[in-house]
């Protein structure tokens, strides 16, 4: 038994302050209560067989079968895309060669952020700016499900470069989550109760009111926020796209981005979108640099074509516009869509419950557990090296795809 330092690959915070005890490939966290980490470390690898048509097979045969499906398919989608930098590079290489489409598990919500940026841009900040500068933090509809330690590490912490005393924290949303409620005494706390539909109107009104004479503003909630903005030296607005009404979330995000732009006319403000499950940030960044476009890009025409609606996984499967879907998830057991009329491959962790339901299952290891890796943090700027800590021979996503592309 020994203790090791560990960089956690299971969410986009990439906490690198974790200590684990290691005992014969079993791990226990020593200094963190993160539920995602705890859940992820509990998973036991009972077997590591590949499956073809639900039956156990060896990995080499499964990769050969994947290769022949790829060659036969006239329309292939890479879905899920729970992988690291190398895995994304390998996917893009094969997608370019076999003229495939790429989407991600979080595509439906994440593209709303993308659309807003493509239309209006924005003013953003990274986590240490949030931690060290932000004397006012506006939280919009945020839970701690995606990044459980975000508040503990970057908002509740007391030691800051700017020597911040008691920060202002405003929660805008229906119900204050317990983890904020329990800590509200640490802040000058306020709650603006709103549901997602009223949120759009509220932020629009807030934005308009910035330009108005303050004496003419009657709405108390808006008035109190305006007063707060005037006292703020450096404010930040955080939102979780997944928690917003998906029908109007792009409009809400655009209003937030425009509000931040307006606030910067007299003070400093910046925003951070909390959207990064299954490392969509990493996948999106690699796609941008290698192809010029974010997720939901097709290579069917020999060059990249990006369309946030056309290349949605759900739409492509529902409309049967693809012949083959290759799901990738090297981090967890998230449910995948299986349509019996579309050939389905899963490149996933060995404990995935749907491994026998797909045409081909190829087991892979997890970046940072079973092989060295690089991932990008939620704010797109910081990337971390992750090191192999487990000794079981599971291939990586890039190994599987590079092999499949070579056959």
Partner 1 sequence: MITKLENGRIYDPINKINGKIKDLFIKNGKIIDRPKRNEKISKIINLKTKIIMAGGIDIHSHIAGGKVNLARLLLPEEHRKHLYSSSNILRSGSGLGTCSSFHIGYKYAKLGYTAVFEPAVLPSNARSAIIEMSDIPLIDKGTYTVLSNDDFLLKLIQKKSNQKKINDYVAWIIQSTKSLGIKIVNPGGINAFKFNQRELDLDEKNKKYNITPRSILKVLTKSLIDLKAPHPIHVHGCNLGIPGNVKTTLKQINAVEGKPMHLTHIQYHSYNNEGDKKFSSGAGILAEKINKNKNITCDVGQIMFAQTVTASADTMSQYRNHHFAHPKKWICADIECDAGCGIVPFEYQDKNFVHSLQWAIGLELFLLIKDPWRIYLTTDHPNGAAFTAYPKLIKLLMDRSFRNNEFAKINKQAQKSSVLSNLKREYNLYDIAILTRAGPAKVLGLKNTGHLGVGANANITIYSEIEDKEKMFENPYMVIKDGEIVVKNGKIQKVLNGKFYTAQVDYDKNIEKEINIYFEEYLGRNFENFKIQNQELWDHGIETENIECDRNDY
User: Rounded distance, CA 33 to CA 21, Å?
Assistant: 14
Q: Which of 371, 350, 369, 395 is nearest to 27 (CA)?
A: 369
Supply the DSSP symbol for 115: H
For the CA atoms of 326, 96, 112, 243, what is the dihedral angle to 10 degrees? Answer: 30
Pick one of 97, 175, 227, 356: the residue that binds partner 1 (CB under 8 A). Answer: 97
Residue ranges in 15-34 that form contacts with partner 1 under rule CB under 8 A: 16-17
Decide if residue 372 touches partner 1 (CB under 8 A).
yes
Please state the closest distance from residue 193 (CB atom) to partner 1, in A.
30
Residues near 263 by beta carbon (within 8 Å), at least 6 away in sequence: 210, 229, 235, 269
In this chain, which of 381, 388, 389, 402 binds partner 1, going by CB under 8 A? Answer: 381
Alpha-helical runs (H) found in 264-393: 280-291, 313-318
Among 19, 25, 121, 224, binds partner 1 (CB under 8 A): 121
CA atoms within 13 A on the CB side of 110: 23
Where does this chain touch partner 1 (CB under 8 A) — which range of 62-70, 117-125, 169-177, 242-250? 117-125
Q: What whole-number distance in Å separates Cα of residue 45 and Cα of residue 202?
A: 49
Taking CB under 8 A as the rule, which mask of x and - marks residues 340-359 in contact with partner 1? --------------------
CA-CA distances (angstroms) from residue 260 to 123, 253, 397? Answer: 7, 11, 39
State how far the Cα of 371 lies from the Cα of 243, in Å rounded to an integer. Answer: 33
Among residues 108, 29, 97, the alpha carbon closest in space to that of 295 is found at 108
State how far the Cα of 210 lies from the Cα of 184, in Å rounded to an integer.
Answer: 27
In 133-267, DSSP assigns E strands to 136-140, 168-173, 188-193, 234-239
Q: Hey, which residues between 217 and 276 contact partner 1 (CB under 8 A)?
A: 233-234, 264, 267-268, 270
* Range 283-312, binding partner 1 (CB under 8 A): 285, 288-294, 299, 301-304, 306
Site string for partner 1, 151-190 (x = CB under 8 A): --xx--x-xxxx----------------------------
Closest CB to partner 1 among 176 and 384? 384
Binding flags for partner 1, 31-70, as an x/- string (CB under 8 A): ----------------------------------------
Tokens found for residue 131: 């931690």
Smaller CB separation from partner 1, 48 or 132 = 132
CB of 205 to partner 1, least distance (A): 23
* Contact positions vs partner 1 (CB under 8 A): 5, 7, 16-17, 85-86, 89, 93, 96-97, 114, 117-129, 131-133, 153-154, 157, 159-162, 233-234, 264, 267-268, 270, 285, 288-294, 299, 301-304, 306, 372, 374, 376, 379-385
């Amino acid at each position: 038994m020994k203790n090791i330092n560990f960089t956690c690959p299971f969410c986009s915070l990439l906490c690198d302050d974790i200590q684990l005890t290691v005992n014969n490939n079993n791990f226990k966290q020593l200094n963190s209560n993160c539920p995602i980490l705890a859940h992820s470390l509990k998973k036991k690898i009972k077997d590591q067989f590949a499956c073809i048509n639900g039956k156990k097979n060896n990995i080499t045969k499964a990769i050969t079968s994947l290769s022949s499906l790829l060659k036969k398919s006239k329309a292939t989608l890479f879905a899920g895309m729970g992988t690291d930098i190398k895995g994304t590079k390998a996917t893009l290489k094969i997608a370019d060669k076999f003229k495939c489409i790429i989407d991600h598990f979080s595509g439906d919500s994440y593209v709303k952020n993308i659309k807003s940026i493509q239309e209006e841009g924005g003013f953003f900040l990274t986590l240490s700016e949030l931690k060290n500068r932000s004397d006012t933090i506006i939280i919009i509809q945020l839970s701690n499900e995606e990044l459980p330690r975000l508040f503990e590490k970057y908002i509740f912490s007391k030691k800051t470069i700017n020597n911040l005393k008691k920060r202002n924290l405003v929660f805008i949303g229906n119900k204050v989550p317990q983890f904020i409620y329990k800590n509200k005494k640490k802040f000058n706390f306020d709650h603006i109760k709103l549901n997602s539909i009223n949120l759009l109107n509220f932020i629009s009104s807030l934005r308009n009111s910035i330009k108005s004479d303050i004496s003419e503003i009657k709405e108390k909630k808006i008035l109190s926020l305006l007063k707060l903005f005037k006292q703020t030296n450096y404010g930040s607005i955080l939102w979780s796209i997944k928690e917003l009404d998906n029908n109007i979330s792009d409009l809400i995000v655009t209003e937030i981005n425009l509000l931040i732009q307006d606030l910067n006319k007299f003070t400093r403000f910046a925003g951070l979108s909390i959207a990064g499950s299954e490392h969509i940030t990493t996948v999106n960044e690699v796609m941008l640099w290698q192809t010029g476009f974010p997720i939901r890009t097709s290579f069917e025409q020999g060059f990249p074509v990006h369309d946030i609606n056309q290349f949605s996984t759900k739409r492509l499967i529902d409309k049967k516009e693809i012949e083959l879907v290759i799901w990738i998830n090297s981090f967890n057991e998230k449910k995948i869509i299986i349509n019996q009329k579309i050939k389905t491959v899963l490149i996933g962790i060995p404990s995935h419950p749907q491994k026998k339901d797909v045409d081909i299952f190829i087991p892979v290891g997890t970046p940072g557990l079973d092989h060295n890796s690089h991932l990008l943090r939620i704010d797109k700027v910081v990337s971390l090296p992750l090191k192999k800590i487990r000794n079981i021979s599971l291939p990586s996503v890039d190994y599987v795809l590079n092999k499949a592309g070579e056959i």
